[in-house]
Structures are given as structure tokens and as C-alpha cells.
Amino acid sequence: MPQYFPDTVKALASTCIDYIPPAENWIELDDLIKINPVFEYQRDIAYKNWETECKENKKQFFEVIYQYQGIKPGVEPPSENPGFRLVDVKTMYEGVKYLRNYDPMFTDEEFDYLLSQYSDQVIANSCNYYRTRLLNYKDEREISDHYIHHPVLMVHSTGDITNKFFIDRDPPTKEYCKNLTFKSIEGDHWIILNKKDEVNTHIHEWLKELKF
């Protein structure tokens, strides 16, 4: 956004999701997965049957994402990723139920509302985000300055699965965001929900220091 609308955007804040600068060369998704298998989920969402799976098993999918936390006492966690795939939501659901505690982020009423908002069209739109990689790549080729000069707040989570994207190096946020405030919170990918007070504290303190 700041590269496209530099005068409109005043500052940026992100939790967990790092800034990725425009790619110099196009990489097919299959080749990207060979380099880093953690991106397998993108192929499942974009080109496999996840759209149908999610529509048919919506409650189970979102329970897996939001309502089960941590490993059950006495259950031996897998030494590596257990290999649950989005192309089989029922199997993923049963596996997560076996491994994790039912520790919901949402009340029943809140969860029902969440499900009601994820219509079939919204699910399809979520898939389309991952289907437009080539279009986005071509669009971003027009951006000459890959650096972000606006004030940026990045709140990382220590246990976020996306940290595996940058096992052997710092995330590009630290290199390409020239006016960066970096914070870290213990938690998983959903700190904006289950560590909201800590996240909001960092945001409020950062906003108070901004001068436009």
C-alpha cells in the first residue's frame, strides 16, 4: 500500500505477517514448495479441493483454526509436522482433536457469527488470493522502490508457524522497513485474539510516538 499510495498511507502495523518485497524473478508455486514445504497449504487452497472441503466442513475447519490450543497432557506431540492437509478437513479435524485441548478463542455465539460471515463467496474469495500470484508478481514489477520508508510496527509471535519461513535468516521486514519498531510476544499465529491486551499495548505505545 505505501508504494502505491505514499501520500495517503501514513504508517503501517502488522502482527505476525512480514513484509515480502516484490520478487525479482518469477517462481512457480510447485518450485517454491520444493524449497520450503511449509507453503504446501497455498497449493491446497489455490489449486486443490480446499474450497469444496471448507464449504462442506466449515464448522470443523474453523474449530481447528480457532478453538483448539496446545497439546493435551499425556499425548506425545509429533516430532515434525503431523502432515495434516487442507484437502481432507475431516481427517485434519480428527487429528487435531486427538492432539490438542479444546480451548476456544470464541464463545459459541461468537463462533456461530464467524461461521455465518464465511459465505461460499467469501471462501471462494479467500482462495482467489492464492490464485493470483502471477498477476500480483506482474503488478509489483512496476514498483521501483522496494523499501518502505513509512513508520512500521511489526509485532512478532515466538511460536508462530510462519517463523519457519525464515529459519536461517532475519525476515525481510527488518531489512526493507527503514523506520521499523519491532516487538515480540510469546504466543502463536493468533496473538491478535489470544494476546490482544499485549498487542493493543504495543500498538497504543507506538501510535503515541508517531508524529506526522
Q: For the chain, list the strands marked E by DSSP.
A: 12-15, 68-71, 100-102, 148-157, 177-185
Look at residues 18, 15, 19, 39 and name the one whose alpha carbon lies nearest to residue 157.
Answer: 15
Low-confidence ranges of the chain (pLDDT < 70): 77-84, 163-169
- Dihedral of CA 51/55/60/66: which sign? positive
For residues 132, 138, 141 and 143, what is the CA-based torsion angle, rounded to 10 degrees?
-60
CATH number of 1-22+145-211: 3.40.50.1820
Decide: 105 and 194 in contact? Cβ < 8 Å: yes
Question: Hey, which residues does 23 pair with through a beta bridge?
Answer: none
- Backbone φ and ψ for 124, nearest 5 degrees, come out as -60, -40
Backbone angle region of 133, left / alpha / beta, with phi > 0 → left and psi within -120 to 50 → alpha: alpha
Decide: 97 and 63 in contact? Cβ < 8 Å: no
Q: pLDDT tens digits for 174-209?
A: 999 999 999 999 988 889 998 999 999 999 999 999
- Spans of all domains in the chain: 1-22+145-211, 23-142
pTM: 0.84
For 80, how many CA atoms within 13 A lie in the half-sphere containing its CB? Answer: 3
Q: pLDDT tens digits for 4-28?
A: 899 999 999 999 989 989 999 999 9
Grid cell, residue 188, equals 502463536
What does DSSP say about strands 148-157 and 177-185: parallel, antiparallel, or unpaired?
parallel
Distance from the Cα of residue 19 to its chain's centroid: 12
Decide: 15 and 153 in contact? Cβ < 8 Å: no
Tell me how crowded residue 171 is: count the other CB atoms within 10 A of its CB.
19
Report the pLDDT value the prediction gives residue 81, as an integer from 0 to 100: 57
- Which whole-number Å values give the CA distances from 109 to 73, 116, 193, in the listed order? 28, 11, 16
In three-state secondary structure terms, 177 is strand
Report the pLDDT value the prediction gives residue 165, as an integer from 0 to 100: 62
